């Protein structure tokens, strides 16, 4: 738009509305969504020209390596939890949908300071940062073959009981097929903790998708949208170098002989499928590369 200053470091989304003229009916002839990336410090707002309406709704960046670019709307909220008893120490963050009552992704750092001997607290509870009316009461399981599947695993937060209890918030749960959760997904979670031992820090995004390109139908368990598939995006920091990998597994009964390595993808492939920007500080090249000498 005329007079608008776009600057480096931000991403802007905008809509263009084309209208008829004269005696032609006034209406939307085309609806176009697009993005401008690598700009900085332009305020959000609407800009109107004769034949153009531009709505600037830039996503925000948390500043943490693990957190995807954050875009919210009237239904979604960004929630961040700290490490109980440790001021200023982060725990995990999520993008939560109040309408579908589930988190699209949960992002967190993983290293030795988060791992200990507390074990499972089983402290099932509403997330205190989200209105209970926007959550599903999961004091009991989903039932019908679905587990209360953690996105950030209980096993990734065992440094203290209070820390572990934060993984049992209902906001962290999704309706996950029991055999998938307790089988191949559990094996992947254990492997992620193993990789932590060979990294300075491992940055993790666990996500759940309730639609796919070929299946837009949404089904529910206890009022929570049932994911079609789950994914993990990982970024390992070793010295000054980063290595990435992704996994994508359908939320269904998986043959017992299948290994999670069958479901390896690049982080850039996950970005294309989910629409999220993972590890915004890393280059496209790093996110497109899976180094099998590291991820073994």
pLDDT for 71-89, tens place per residue? Answer: 999 999 999 999 999 999 9
The pLDDT, as a whole number, for residue 127 is: 99
| Spatial contact of 161 and 118, defined as CB atoms under 8 Å apart | yes
Contacts of 248 by beta carbon, 8 Å cutoff, 6+ apart: 229, 230, 231, 263, 265, 269, 270, 273
Q: What is the pTM of this model?
A: 0.81
Position of tokens 């998938």?
180
The pLDDT, as a whole number, for residue 143 is: 96
Tell me how far apart the alpha carbons of residues 150 and 258 are, in angstroms, rounded to a whole number: 21
The pLDDT, as a whole number, for residue 58 is: 62
Compute the average pLDDT of residues 64-70. Answer: 97
**Residue from 188, 190, 192, 149 nearest 172 by CA:** 149
- Chain centre to alpha carbon of residue 294: 24
Q: 151 is written with which tokens? A: 């996105």
pLDDT(284) > 70: yes
Q: Where are the alpha helices (DSSP H) in 112-266?
A: 161-165, 178-180, 186-196
What percent of the chain stands above pLDDT 70?
Answer: 80
**Mean pLDDT estimate for the chain:** 87
Helices first, then strands: H and E counts in the chain: 5, 15
The pLDDT, as a whole number, for residue 60 is: 83
> Domain residues of the chain, as ranges?
10-56, 76-288
Compute the average pLDDT of residues 144-173. Answer: 99
pLDDT in tens, 112-124: 999 999 999 999 9
The pLDDT, as a whole number, for residue 66 is: 98
The pLDDT, as a whole number, for residue 229 is: 99
**Residue from 222, 103, 81, 50 nearest 165 by CA:** 81
Look at 169 and 18; give whichever has higher pLDDT: 169
Tell me how crowded residue 65 is: count the other CB atoms within 10 A of its CB: 16
In the three-class reduction of DSSP (H, G, I as helix; E, B as strand; rest coil), residue 164 is classed as helix
CATH 3.40.50.150 fits 76-288, yes or no: no
Instruction: Give the confidence band of 291 by pLDDT, cuts at 50, 70, 90.
Output: very high
Tell me how far apart the alpha carbons of residues 99 and 223 are, in angstroms, rounded to a whole number: 9
Compute the average pLDDT of residues 127-149. Answer: 98
pLDDT(61) > 60: yes
Three-state helix/strand/coil letters over 71-100: CCCCCEEEEEEECCCCCCCEEEEEEEECCC
């Amino acid at each position: 738009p005329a007079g608008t200053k776009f600057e480096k470091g931000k991403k802007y989304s905008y809509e263009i509305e084309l209208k008829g003229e004269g005696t032609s009916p006034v209406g939307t002839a085309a609806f176009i969504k697009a993005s401008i990336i690598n700009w900085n410090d332009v305020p959000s707002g609407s800009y109107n020209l004769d034949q153009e309406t531009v709505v600037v709704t830039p996503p925000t960046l948390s500043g943490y390596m693990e957190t995807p670019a954050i875009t919210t709307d009237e239904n979604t909220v960004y929630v961040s939890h700290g490490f109980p008893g440790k001021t200023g120490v982060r725990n995990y963050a999520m993008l939560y949908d109040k309408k579908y009552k589930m988190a699209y992704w949960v992002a967190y750092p993983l290293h030795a300071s988060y791992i200990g001997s507390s074990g499972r607290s089983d402290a099932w509870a509403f997330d205190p940062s989200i209105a209970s009316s926007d959550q599903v009461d999961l004091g009991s399981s989903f039932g019908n073959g679905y587990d209360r599947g953690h996105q950030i695993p209980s096993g990734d937060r065992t440094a203290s009981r209070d820390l572990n209890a934060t993984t049992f918030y209902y906001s962290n749960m999704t309706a996950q097929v029991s055999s998938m959760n307790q089988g191949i997904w559990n094996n992947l979670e254990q492997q992620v903790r193993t990789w932590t031992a060979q990294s300075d820090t491992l940055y993790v995004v666990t996500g759940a998708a309730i639609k796919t390109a070929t299946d837009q139908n949404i089904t529910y368990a206890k009022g929570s949208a049932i994911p079609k598939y789950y994914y993990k995006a990982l970024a390992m920091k070793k010295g000054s170098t980063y290595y990435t990998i992704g996994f994508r597994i359908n939320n269904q009964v998986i043959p017992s002989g299948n290994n999670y390595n069958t479901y390896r993808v690049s982080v850039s492939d996950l970005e294309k499928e989910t629409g999220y920007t993972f590890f915004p500080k890393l280059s496209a090249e790093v996110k497109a590369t899976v180094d099998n000498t590291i991820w073994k």
